[in-house]
Amino acid sequence: PSGRPNTVRLVFLGAAGVGKSALIRRFLHDRFEHKYTRTVEELHVLECDMTGSGKMRLEILDTTGSYSFPAMRELCIRHSDAFALVYAVDDPGSLDEVKRLRREILELRVGKKAPITVVGCKSDLSEAEGRVLRTADVMATVEGEWDADFVEASARTGGNTVGVFSSLLQQMQVPRRLS
Ligand code: GDP
């Protein structure tokens, strides 16, 4: 055994402004900032033990919503192990984008695994504050029709942000390290 931990690459895809960077930041640093910083592309690398079965090298790729170069998006889809498709509960257009991304992933990954977790971000928002997408409706589509995992999370409150990552890793059933 090499003693090197398994490497797992998770990619966060979704429309601009849905909270991808905020979710990742909350997970990594337990922080939330209101200021909006436009992400081009950021790769976070850490070693951790998320499953209790030894250390792994976790790569978290944060992509921009205007991932406008199809060739780059394609490359990133081919070279990732699991996908967080993020929409915001106050933005129906962002759920349409998730649908498009899911189709693209399935097309590019024929014959390969494509663990997908659909993430409804900004779950702290009430209807009075702008929520338009209801949990039960989206859950029915995602779990019932797409056979993907579904979680709602809030980077603002920190609610269930860990759930996003455990869902992805659970679906991949990260193997035990041989050492
Ligand atoms: P990205 O473009 O998908 O990476 O989105 P950002 O993480 O940059 O977030 C976009 C905006 O949404 C920022 O102004 C955040 O403060 C806000 N935001 C992100 N997550 C949440 C959340 O969970 N709840 C609320 N209410 N706002 C959020």
The b/e string for 59-73 (b: 16+ C-beta within 10 A; e otherwise) is bbbbbbbebeeeeeb
Pocket probe mutation, ligand 1, options 43, 126, 156, 160, max atoms within 8 Å of Cβ: 156
Q: How far apart are CA 179 and CA 5, in angstroms?
A: 9
Phi/psi for 116 (5° steps) reads: -125, 130
| Higher pLDDT, residue 172 or 83 | 83
Measured in angstroms, how far is the CA atom of residue 52 from the centroid of ligand 1?
Answer: 30
Measured in angstroms, how far is the CA atom of residue 133 from the centroid of ligand 1?
Answer: 16
Give the nearest ligand 1 atom to 37 CA.
8
Q: How far apart are CA 113 and CA 116, in angstroms?
A: 9
The DSSP 8-state label assigned to residue 154 in this structure reads -
Pairing of strands 41-48, 56-63: antiparallel
Count CB-CB contacts under 10 A for residue 156: 18
Whether the Cβ atoms of residue 115 and residue 172 lie closer than 8 Å to each other = yes
Reading the block at residue 21, the tokens are: 């960077």
pLDDT score recorded for residue 68: 61
| Higher pLDDT, residue 78 or 68 | 78
Give the nearest ligand 1 atom to 65 CA.
2
> Could you identify the residue written with the tokens 């860990």?
162
Model-level ipTM above the cut of 0.95:
yes
Q: How far apart are CA 94 and CA 88, in angstroms?
A: 6
Measured in angstroms, how far is the CA atom of residue 23 from the centroid of ligand 1?
Answer: 8
175 falls in which pLDDT band (50, 70, 90)? low
Q: How far apart are CA 44 and CA 141, in angstroms?
A: 31
Q: How far apart are CA 85 and CA 13, in angstroms?
A: 5
Phi/psi for 124 (5° steps) reads: -70, -20
Nearest Cα neighbor of 67 from 24, 14, 18, 11 is 14
Please give all residues whose beta carbon lies within 6 A of any atom in ligand 1, as ranges. Answer: 14, 16-22, 34, 36, 39, 65, 121-122, 124-125, 154-156
127 falls in which pLDDT band (50, 70, 90)? very high
pLDDT score recorded for residue 179: 38
Measured in angstroms, how far is the CA atom of residue 79 from the centroid of ligand 1?
Answer: 26
pLDDT score recorded for residue 51: 72
Over 60: is that where the pLDDT of 66 sits? no
